[in-house]
């Protein structure tokens, strides 16, 4: 042999025209060379196994996954990364189109697909949708923005071909159906018969308040691309996700998770690990900080045993291999089936089932909670037909494309943490508790997240350990978890078993409905209150149909298990509960020979319907919101419109299941309709309820400066929702601007100095946006007063037009906002506050969604594909149709994901995961699974209690996706799938069962 094998090598590579020379380990990947060594951080990494595409770069002009090449492989080659592309005509055109088409939601996949798209447009410009699908096949987009990405590439090609560009931003697959405001029925602070209303259990007297009516709007309702300071960095590869933070001398963390679902550490020895060259610290149960300890008892697979900190990820992993652990395996409860066994291992002294507070009206001794109306026993006695149905949901999650990650820096007195969560101040407080450091000395930065979806709502103790390590070692510390570890660190959707008993008259009228819902909660003793976090959405369907069902009962049974915690995962407890309910409605419709739509329409709640006696609903709609003036009424509730408009757009025609076509392929259609909250509405400053509320507080500041710029300080991190753009639209509207061009944004950093509650559960645009609007209203009043004085006119004589105040009828008597600010010494500041109301906020803020699906099923292979979708949403006033269209695309794709795929459990060993194959273990839809046709219908059922009639959406219709697909599969094949995930093997299994049973 002429030379010896080497562990270190020198790499010379030309990157974007610049030569680089670097010394690397043989195992250093190209991504590590680019991002962590050369600090070319535009290329991000997700799965690190070649199964997602976000890290794509061009090597000698061809696309490769940089995580899955060794640095040594590119020696002597030319690389092109997203950084190069500002000067490239194709890419600058792509970037422009991506911006105007809103093709980057969270933006984490953008750099990867954009360099791949460049290779397509270099070859030719007469590209089709199919070409885009082929080129981007190997690029996952977790937000589900595939349609916008495709459109951006086609528009860029068109512009490069014709030289003509700058088409006005527009939507291309959604329609908005306007609705008059439903006023007469409003209660709870909206439009009651009298001006004064009495709300809530505290009998608060509040004045009628409507916010601003959605009339004469100029900016609200326009498809405007997102605020450039938020969106353009996503597209150019410079949005600072925690993973893009690189520092000299940085340490990397690696996490050792428990291999067992339940075990005790008998002995742990990290001394060998600690002595490996390059390892700076190993934290175990023996030396983790007291305020943020690591336990000796491990309660689910992946529960943290140890964290190592070293000069590279590889060395940190070497250290994990060298830790000696002696585990004592303990009996465990690894699944819902385990939990339901009479001899289940006790994880709690008083049984594994949790209970809600005894004071809650839904409390019961034999279950976690029970809600009921009428008497189901009586209802069943009155029934002609009684049917029973059982459905199972296997659990699911939504792993964001950005790996769970963070970077901590300590300068001896101040900690700076670049994190990934859905709240700035809450995160800072959490770190302060774990570290015992005053919050003043912690800066929490989180401007961009590569998705969070609720699964990554808050920091986890691991973040505290990372910060601790930065303080102890004096070095910046970074972590970025592999999928196999992070699946234990995000919120999972639970396993659910629903048993329904339905009593009906011969004509199909439901007179009794009983549902027993069993679910896992993961390893927690936290008693779920009636509203949160577990059972809330299980009740949604009873709001949708329960008013017209005289007797019903819903009982929830929640079990503690040795599995990771459950929680929101692109909506909280929706898909998992609604799958069963909406399949049952389909089965009943068939039983009674009714069209599935007509059958549902017989029962749905409508405006004017009074919610049955409030005490039936537990704390949320019960004791806390009981209205003196006649009970809680539905008002902004477009149940009928959602169904009818969807029917029209889909051209619904429901026949008995179709003939089997060529090659065993058949098609069918299905529908599902769901209720969900329409966001949380609370109180704003000045209302009586505001003073009494003990809920979460949302703050915002806006600053007008002498250049006429409005700086909006909204601290919330951006995770792909672009909420700040719609908020900018509302305040621009309020202030009389003709565009959002005057708005500048400060966000995602505790240094901004605006403390505000975290965002989730549809309260970003409503409550956080409301705080901004309160500030804007104050600013408007202030400007009017100042202008009146300045112009020597009465306030009533003034008109405002695009940043200029003038006296009515004499435009020359005018003063601009900028001049007013100059006159006031340079800036005018206003502060706005809102607070949450009781339960889910004031009154009955609900919304309705529907999914109409056409699927194609190959009955010989069980493989099914969605071919056509109409997705309908009771939306309130649509502020920005472009963003809304993207949000609904994403909701559908993620709903498709949580239908087809679950958690990669070992099916034979409950509590054990088989997650070692990254996105092959956990499959999310690719661009090739996007249906040929997706159309969205927004019903503008104006919300009377809030500014401009908007409410929250995007999370409602998602709950309808799994059941619409299952119903369509039934319509196509005659086979009913009652167990999730909806895999080809399950379709075939049911086929076989059907054949055997004749």
Partner 1 sequence: MKQFSIYKPKTVEEALAALSSGEKAAAIYAGGTDLLIRLKNRLYTSPDVLVDIKGLEDLRFVRYDETGGLVIGSLVTLGELAEAKEAVHYPVIAQTISSISSPELRNQSTVGGNILQEVWCPYYRSDYRCWRNGGDICYAEVGDNTEYQSIMGAKKSFAAYPGDLAITLAALDAKVTVAGPEGRRQLTIEELIPGEVEAEGKIQSHVLRRNELLAEISIPPPGNDELYLFGKVRKREVWDFASASAAMRLSLDNKTIRRASVFFGGIATRPWRDRRLEDYLSGKELRYDLPDSAIQEVLVDARPLPHNGYKKDQAVGLLNSMLADAVSRVK
Give residues 635-664 in contact with partner 1 (rule: CB under 8 A).
662-664
CB of 933 to partner 1, least distance (A): 17
Stretch of residues binding partner 1 (CB under 8 A), selected from 586-594, 673-681, 744-752, 913-921: 913-921
Q: Which of 41, 43, 48, 847 binds partner 1 (CB under 8 A)?
A: 48
Planar angle of CA 922, 925, 931, nearest 5 degrees: 160
For the record, the structure tokens of 206 come out as 């509040």
Q: Is 248 in the site for partner 1 (CB under 8 A)?
A: no
Please state, in angstroms and rounded to a whole number, the distance separating the CA atoms of residues 726 and 877.
Answer: 11
Figure out which of the listed residues 357, 906, 932, 933 binds partner 1, where binding follows CB under 8 A: 906
Q: Check binding of 921 to partner 1 (CB under 8 A).
A: yes
**Measured between alpha carbons, how far is 634 from 638 in angstroms, rounded to an integer?**
10
Residue 879 burial (CB count, 10 A): 28
Tell me how far, at minimum, the Cβ of 252 lies from partner 1, in Å: 13
Q: Give the residue, chosen from 10, 27, 525, 628, that forms a contact with partner 1 under the rule CB under 8 A.
A: 27
Given 193, 526, 992, 994, the residue binding partner 1 (CB under 8 A)? 992
Q: Smallest distance from the beta carbon of 27 to partner 1, in angstroms? A: 4
Which tokens in the block code for residue 12? 């010379």
Shortest spacing between CB 319 and partner 1, in angstroms: 12
925 near partner 1 (CB under 8 A): yes
Shortest Å distance, C-beta 190 to partner 1: 46
Distance, CA of 118 to CA of 111 (rounded, Å):
11
748, 446 contact by CB (below 8 A):
yes
Task: Pick the stretch among 281-289, 715-723, 739-747, 985-993 that binds partner 1 (CB under 8 A).
Answer: 985-993
| Residue selected from 915, 939, 960, 964 as contacting partner 1 according to rule CB under 8 A | 915
Interstrand relation of 552-560 and 510-522 (parallel, antiparallel or unpaired)? parallel
Question: Who's near 565: CB < 8 A, 6+ residues apart?
Answer: 491, 492, 521, 522, 523, 524
CB closer to partner 1 out of 3 and 997: 3
Shortest distance in whole angstroms from residue 103 CB to partner 1 = 19
Beta carbon of residue 450, minimum distance to partner 1 (angstroms, whole number): 19
Q: Is 988 in the site for partner 1 (CB under 8 A)?
A: yes
5 binds partner 1, rule: CB under 8 A: yes
- Stated as kind and residue range, the H or E segment containing 580 is helix 575-591
Q: Which of residues 349-378 bind partner 1 (CB under 8 A)?
A: none
Number of Cβ atoms within 10 Å of the Cβ of 101: 28
Q: Is 49 one of the binding residues for partner 1 (CB under 8 A)? A: yes
For residue 131, the minimal CB distance to partner 1 (Å) is: 12
Residue nearer to partner 1 on the CB measure, 890 or 904:
904
Give the span between the Cα atoms of 502 and 496, in whole angstroms: 19
* Separation of alpha carbons 38 and 44, rounded Å: 13
Report yes or no: 135 and 90 within 8 Å, Cβ to Cβ: no
- Which segments of 769-857 does DSSP mark as H helices, in order? 769-791, 817-823
Residues with Cβ within 8 Å of residue 411, at least 6 apart in sequence: none
Could you write out the three-class secondary structure of 925-964? Answer: CCHHHCCCEEEEEEEECCCCCCHHHECCCCCCHHHHHHHH
Of residues 320 through 349, those in contact with partner 1 by CB under 8 A are 321
Binding part of the chain for partner 1, among 361-369, 391-399, 550-558, 906-914 by CB under 8 A, reads 906-914
Least distance in angstroms from the C-beta of 274 to partner 1: 18
Report the sign of the C-alpha dihedral through residues 594, 595, 600, 602, in that order.
negative
Nearer to partner 1, 134 or 201 (CB): 134
Sheet strands (E) in 647-720: 665-677, 683-684, 697-705, 710-713
**Between the CA of residue 676 and those of 143, 219, 396, 670, what are the distances in Å?**
21, 28, 19, 20
**Cα separation of 160 and 118, whole Å?**
12
Minimum distance from CB of 903 to partner 1 (Å)? 13
Residue 648 burial (CB count, 10 A) = 12
**Which among 44-52, 397-405, 643-651, 775-783 is the span making contact with partner 1, rule CB under 8 A?**
44-52
Does 2 bind partner 1 (CB under 8 A)? Our answer is yes
**According to CB under 8 A, which residues from 710 to 749 bind partner 1?**
none
Interaction between residue 914 and partner 1 (CB under 8 A): yes
Closer residue to partner 1 (CB): 25 or 705 = 25
Report the site for partner 1 in 955-984 (rule: CB under 8 A): 983-984
Cα–Cα distance, 816 to 811 (Å, whole number): 12
Tokens of 547: 């008013």
Of 1 and 365, which has the nearer Cβ to partner 1? 1
| Of residues 28 and 714, the one with the C-beta less far from partner 1 | 28
Of 608 and 661, the one with the shorter C-beta distance to partner 1 is 661
Residues 763-782 interacting with partner 1 (rule: CB under 8 A): none
Measured from the CB atom, is 794 or 916 closer to partner 1? 916
Output 313 or 409, the one with its CB closest to partner 1.
313
Q: Which of 40, 44, 404, 900 binds partner 1 (CB under 8 A)?
A: 900
Which lies closer to partner 1 via its Cβ, residue 429 or residue 923?
Answer: 923
Tell me which residues in 465-494 interact with partner 1 (CB under 8 A).
484
Interface pick for partner 1 out of 619, 926, 952, 973 (rule CB under 8 A): 926
289-318 residues near partner 1, rule: CB under 8 A: 314, 317-318
Element of type H or E holding 813? strand 810-816
Helix, coil or strand: residue 593? coil
| Position among 7, 267, 506, 655 found at the interface with partner 1 (CB under 8 A) | 7
**Which residue in the set 11, 36, 46, 53 belongs to the binding site for partner 1 (CB under 8 A)?**
53
Residue 909 interacts with partner 1 (CB under 8 A)? yes
User: Cα separations (Å) of 867 from 579, 666, 892, 965?
Assistant: 20, 12, 13, 11
Q: Site residues for partner 1, window 122-151 (CB under 8 A)?
A: 134-135, 137-138
- Counting every residue, how long is the chain? 998
The C-alpha atoms of residue 957 and residue 852 are separated, in whole angstroms, by: 10
Cβ burial 883-904 (10 Å sphere, 16+ → b, else e): bbbbbbbbbbbbbbbbbbbbbb
Least distance CB 662 / partner 1 (angstroms): 7
We find the least distance from the C-beta atom of residue 255 to partner 1, in angstroms, to be 14
Size of the site for partner 1 (CB under 8 A): 73
**Angle made by CA atoms 542, 546, 550, in degrees to the nearest 5:** 145
Peptide bond just before 533 cis, omega within 30 deg? yes
Instruction: Say whether residue 159 binds partner 1 (CB under 8 A).
Output: no
Residues 100-119 that bind partner 1 (CB under 8 A): 116
| Of residues 27 and 738, the one with the C-beta less far from partner 1 | 27
Span 662-691, contacts to partner 1 by CB under 8 A: 662-664
Site for partner 1 in 62-81 (CB under 8 A): 62-65, 68-70, 72-73
Decide if 896 contacts 925 (C-beta within 8 A).
yes
Closest approach of partner 1 to the CB of residue 116, in Å = 7
Enumerate residues 830-889 that contact partner 1 by CB under 8 A.
858-863
Interface stretch with partner 1, choices 49-57, 239-247, 330-338, 414-422 (CB under 8 A): 49-57
Q: Which is nearer to partner 1, 815 or 918 (CB)?
A: 918
CB atoms within 10 A of CB 330: 16
Whole-angstrom CA distances from 844 to 188, 543, 554, 616, 675 are 8, 10, 20, 15, 12
Quick count: other Cβ atoms within 10 Å of Cβ 443? 18
């Amino acid at each position: 042999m002429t030379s010896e094998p080497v562990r270190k090598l020198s790499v010379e590579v030309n990157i974007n025209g610049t030569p680089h020379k670097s010394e690397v380990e043989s195992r250093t990947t190209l991504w590590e060379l680019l991002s962590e060594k050369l600090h070319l951080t535009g290329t991000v990494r997700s799965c690190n196994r070649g199964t997602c595409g976000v890290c794509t770069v061009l090597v000698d002009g061809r696309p490769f996954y940089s995580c899955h090449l060794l640095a040594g492989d590119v020696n002597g080659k030319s690389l092109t990364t997203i950084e190069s592309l500002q000067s490239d005509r194709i890419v600058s055109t792509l970037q422009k189109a991506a911006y105007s088409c809103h093709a980057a939601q969270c933006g984490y996949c953008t750099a990867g697909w954009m360099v791949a798209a460049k290779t397509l447009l270099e070859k030719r410009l007469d590209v089709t949708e199919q070409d885009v699908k082929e080129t981007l096949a190997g690029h996952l987009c977790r937000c589900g923005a595939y349609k916008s990405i495709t459109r951006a590439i086609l528009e860029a090609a068109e512009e490069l071909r014709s030289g003509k560009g700058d088409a006005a931003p527009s939507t291309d697959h959604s329609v908005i159906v306007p609705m008059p405001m439903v006023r007469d029925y409003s209660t709870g602070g909206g439009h009651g018969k009298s001006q004064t209303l009495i709300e809530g259990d505290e009998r608060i007297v509040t004045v009628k308040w409507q916010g601003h009516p959605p009339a004469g709007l100029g900016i609200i309702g326009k498809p405007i691309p997102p605020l450039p300071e938020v969106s353009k960095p996503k597209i150019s590869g410079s949005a600072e996700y925690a993973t893009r933070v690189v520092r000299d001398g940085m340490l990397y963390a690696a996490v050792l998770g428990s291999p067992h679902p339940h075990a005790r550490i008998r002995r742990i020895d990290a001394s060998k690990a600690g002595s490996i060259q390059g390892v700076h610290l190993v934290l175990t149960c023996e030396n983790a900080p007291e305020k943020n300890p690591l336990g000796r008892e491990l309660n689910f697979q992946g529960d943290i045993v140890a964290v190592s900190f070293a000069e590279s990820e590889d060395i940190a992993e070497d250290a994990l291999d060298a830790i000696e652990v002696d585990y004592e395996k303990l009996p465990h409860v690894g699944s819902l089936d385990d939990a339901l066994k009479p001899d289940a291992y006790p994880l709690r002294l008083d049984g594994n089932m949790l209970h809600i507070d005894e004071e809650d009206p839904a409390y019961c001794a034999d279950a976690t909670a029970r809600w009921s109306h009428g008497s189901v026993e009586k209802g069943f006695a009155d029934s002609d037909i009684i049917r029973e149905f059982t459905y199972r949901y296997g659990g699911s999650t939504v792993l964001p494309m950005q790996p769970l990650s963070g970077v901590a820096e300590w300068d001896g007195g101040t900690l700076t943490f670049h994190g990934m969560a859905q709240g700035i101040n809450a995160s800072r407080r959490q770190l302060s508790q774990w570290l015992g450091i005053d919050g003043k000395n912690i800066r929490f930065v989180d401007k961009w997240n590569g998705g969070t979806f609720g699964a990554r709502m808050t920091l986890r103790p691991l973040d505290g350990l990372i910060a601790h390590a930065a303080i102890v070692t004096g070095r910046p510390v970074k972590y970025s978890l592999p999928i196999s570890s992070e699946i234990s660190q995000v919120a999972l959707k639970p396993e659910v078993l629903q048993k329904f008993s339905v009593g009906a008259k011969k004509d199909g009228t439901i007179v009794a409905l009983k549902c027993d819902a069993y679910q896992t909660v993961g390893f927690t003793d936290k008693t779920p209150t009636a509203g949160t976090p577990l059972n809330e959405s299980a009740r949604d369907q009873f709001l949708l149909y329960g008013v017209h069902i005289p007797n019903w009962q819903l009982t929830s049974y929640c079990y503690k298990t040795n599995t990771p915690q459950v929680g929101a995962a692109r909506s909280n407890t929706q898909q998992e509960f609604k799958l069963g309910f909406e399949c049952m409605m389909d089965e009943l419709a068939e039983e009674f020979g009714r069209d599935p739509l007509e059958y549902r329409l017989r029962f749905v709640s409508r405006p004017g319907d009074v919610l049955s006696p409030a005490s039936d609903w537990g704390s949320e709609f019960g004791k806390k919101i009981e209205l003196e003036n006649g009970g809680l009424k539905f008002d902004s509730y477009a149940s009928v419109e959602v169904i009818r408009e969807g029917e029209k757009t889909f051209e619904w025609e429901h026949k008995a299941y179709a003939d089997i076509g060529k090659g065993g392929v058949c098609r069918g259609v299905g529908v599902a309709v769901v209720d969900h909250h329409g966001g949380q509405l609370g109180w704003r400053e000045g209302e009586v309820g505001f003073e009494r509320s003990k809920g979460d507080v949302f703050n915002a500041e806006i600053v007008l400066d002498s250049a006429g710029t409005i700086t909006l300080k909204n601290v919330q991190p951006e995770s792909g929702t672009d909420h700040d753009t719609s908020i900018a639209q509302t305040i621009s509207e309020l202030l009389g601007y003709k565009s959002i061009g005057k708005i500048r944004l400060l966000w995602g950093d505790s240094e901004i100095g605006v403390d505000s509650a975290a965002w989730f559960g549809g309260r970003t645009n409503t409550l956080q946006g409301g705080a901004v609007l309160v500030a804007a209203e104050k600013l408007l009043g202030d400007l009017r007063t100042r202008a009146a004085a300045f112009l020597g006119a009465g306030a009533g004589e003034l008109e405002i037009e695009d940043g200029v105040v003038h006296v009515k009828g004499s435009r020359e008597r005018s003063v601009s906002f900028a001049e007013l600010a100059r006159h006031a010494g340079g800036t005018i500041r206003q502060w706005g506050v809102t607070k949450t109301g009781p339960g889910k906020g004031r009154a009955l803020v609900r919304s309705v969604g529907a999914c109409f699906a056409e699927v194609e099923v190959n009955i010989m292979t069980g493989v099914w594909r969605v071919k056509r979708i109409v997705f309908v949403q009771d939306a309130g006033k649509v502020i920005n149709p472009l963003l809304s269209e993207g949000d609904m695309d994403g909701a559908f794709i993620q709903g498709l994901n949580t239908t087809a795929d679950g958690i990669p459990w070992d099916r034979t060993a409950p509590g054990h995961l088989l997650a070692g194959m990254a996105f092959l273990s956990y499959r999310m839809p690719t661009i090739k699974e996007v249906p040929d046709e997706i159309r969205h219908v927004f019903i503008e059922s104006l919300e009377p209690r809030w500014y401009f009639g908007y409410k929250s959406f995007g999370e409602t219709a998602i709950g309808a996706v799994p059941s619409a697909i299952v119903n369509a599969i039934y319509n196509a094949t005659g086979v009913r799938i009652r167990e999730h995930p909806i895999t080809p093997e399950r379709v075939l299994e049911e086929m076989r069962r059907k054949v055997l049973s004749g």
